[in-house]
Amino acid sequence: MTMPSLPPPGGFVELFRAIAAVEPGRLYARCGGDDLTFALLDRRSDAIAAALCAAGAAPGDRVASMLPNGALPLALIHALAKAGLVWVPLNMQAVGEGLRYILRHSTPELVVAADSVVAALQEAGAAAILTETDLAGLARGTAPPPGHTPDPAADFAICYTSGTTGPPKGVRVSHRMLRLAGEGAALVADARDGDAMLMWEPLYHIGGAQMAVLPLLRRVHLHMVPRFSASRFWQEAAEAGATHIHYLGGILQILLKQPPAPSDRAHGVRVAWGGGCPAEIRDAVQQRFGVTLRECYGMTEASSFTTFNAGGPAGAVGRPMPWLDVAICDAEGRPVPQGLRGEIVVRAHDALALTRGYLDNPSATARALRDGALHTGDAGSLDAAGNLFFHGRLTDSARVRGENVSAWEVESVAAQHPDVADCAMLGIPAELGEQEIKLFVALRPGARLTPPELGAWLATRLARYQQPRFIAIVSEFERTPSQRIMKHRLSPGRDDCWDRLAGAPS
């Protein structure tokens, strides 16, 4: 396979301006049944940028937003880029201490918010709030926009990581990084002129933010829906005329657990692209839904995409983007032999492809960025052809009777049970040293699976040291915007679950 070349230098603001000037009527997105052309988006974003600058905002100032998907948030994103302001996207579901932490840490000059979340922001200490209603008023302005083009190396956004195992870190994302994230999306998705991208992922997650760039790189348009809905997913894809759907986390597993329906195939989707598809469900997804899967691996710190699988072996997350290299290293940073597991370490051919670090967090920056490389904290291995295989987080594991057990290894097996909708593993303290495995399981609607039954089923499919000692049935999981389970919210207790060893001879 011939790999594409490195994209031309620069950010994305200049691309947007060029298209708006030459093809003003070109479709950028459909939002709630309305067409958003480049001309309309250009005019609205110019007006917002001009108003913010007139109010005293200066390049480098931070502006947070807490908005649902839609045309107006897209205009805000491009307005901030044009004005050289730094965007701090906030999760619409954030409340209380979690929201307060990000506001205190990022210190935005202004928060632009949906009317429905103003009270939560005020309770969390936000002072200067511009409502979505006020933003709509700014978008109708006529003042001339800022005329400068931001430096590609300048911060465009501070994107806070999901914080599944601890406080979130603010990843510094430059204009160039978001441009490369869009380039990566185009490659992973095999985007072609005329394609329509069903977009459910929130703009406040990197998986959504990168999509704001894609129509600048290919003649495609976005079709935005308010949120991910498993029951309506394929119907929405058909109504949108979508050629592509995006998946993250456990999205494909959730869709497979839905009852079979005519809508599974009554759509025009050609490609399902994203990350988080275990090898064992790849064929089932492609056969049931009639799509081609294109798997990738990446993280916000490396312009979202690191590798993608375009025709490689099942289970692989592919080969590196043209602007990156990948190595597998041991704890001392030395490359390990082919096929062995180690930490995924990323280096860049483009100096701006990697983050410059985490906002006001020098210790986390020093741990992640060493000797010009990003140490991801993820476990992986490489085959002879250079295909990367992902084996979970290095820290998302348990030490059981002298063996390291990856959460990914246990979860991927448990998720195959027909009654399991989703699951998550924790390592909890053992009575005498090391850890025990606790598995949390959400069942499919109507399922009657009991923990002892699941434990017996797993006993024939997992090594003894991998078998959960504790199993807890939960009604649902709290999730991040990318639909990943928030493991730090799960109970490490022993009194709310089934114990495989209860009553066993000591």
Query: Has residue 505 got a pLDDT over 50?
Result: no
Tell whether the torsion through CA atoms of 65, 41, 198 and 8 is positive or negative.
negative
List of residues 6+ apart from 51 with CB closer than 8 A: 138, 141, 143
For the residues 2-12, what does the mean pLDDT come to?
85
Given this model, what pLDDT does residue 383 score? 97
- Neighbour tally for 278: CB within 10 Å: 19
7 sits in which H/E element: none
Tell me the CA distances in angstroms from 448 to 241, 254, 423, 459, 500, one per residue in order. 38, 18, 16, 19, 18
List of residues 6+ apart from 456 with CB closer than 8 A: none
Given this model, what pLDDT does residue 249 score? 65
What pairs with residue 326 in β-bridges? 346
CB 7 within 8 Å of CB 214: no
- CA 229, CA 197: separation in Å to the nearest integer? 16
Tell me the CATH class for 400-499.
alpha beta
CB 356 within 8 Å of CB 103: no
Q: What is the pLDDT of residues 432-451, one digit of tens each?
A: 667 899 999 999 999 999 99
Query: How sure is the predictor about 506, in pLDDT bands with cuts at 50, 70 and 90?
Result: very low
For the residues 76-89, what does the mean pLDDT come to?
98
Query: Has residue 163 got a pLDDT over 80?
Result: no
Report the SS3 class of residue 127.
coil
Domain with CATH 3.30.300.30 in the chain: 400-499
Closest CA to 278 of 293, 288, 291: 293
Q: What is the pLDDT of residues 276-332, one digit of tens each?
A: 888 888 999 999 999 999 999 999 999 999 999 998 998 999 999 999 999 999 989
Average pLDDT of the chain to the nearest whole number: 92
Query: How sure is the predictor about 2, in pLDDT bands with cuts at 50, 70 and 90?
Result: low
Given this model, what pLDDT does residue 432 score? 61
Residue where the block lists tokens 């409502």: 131
Q: What is the pLDDT of residues 195-239, one digit of tens each?
A: 999 999 999 989 999 999 999 999 999 999 998 999 999 999 999
Distance of CA 347 to the CA centre of its chain: 21
Given this model, what pLDDT does residue 164 score? 47
Task: Check residue 6 and give left, alpha or beta (phi > 0: left; psi -120 to 50: alpha).
Answer: beta
- What is the fold of 13-382? Rossmann fold (3.40.50)
pTM surpassing 0.75? yes
Given this model, what pLDDT does residue 167 score? 67
- CA 417, CA 421: separation in Å to the nearest integer? 9
Q: Which of 61-75, 203-217, 401-415 has the lowest mean pLDDT?
A: 401-415
Q: What is the pLDDT of residues 108-132, one digit of tens each?
A: 999 999 999 999 999 999 989 999 9
For the residues 166-173, what does the mean pLDDT come to?
85
Tokens for 165? 């195992």
Given this model, what pLDDT does residue 67 score? 97
Given this model, what pLDDT does residue 372 score? 94
Query: How sure is the predictor about 94, in pLDDT bands with cuts at 50, 70 and 90?
Result: confident
Residue 167's identity, in one-letter code, is P
SS (H, E, C) 318-368: EEECCCEEEEEECCCCCECCCCCCEEEEEEECCCCCCCCCECCCHHHHHHH
Report the SS3 class of residue 82.
helix
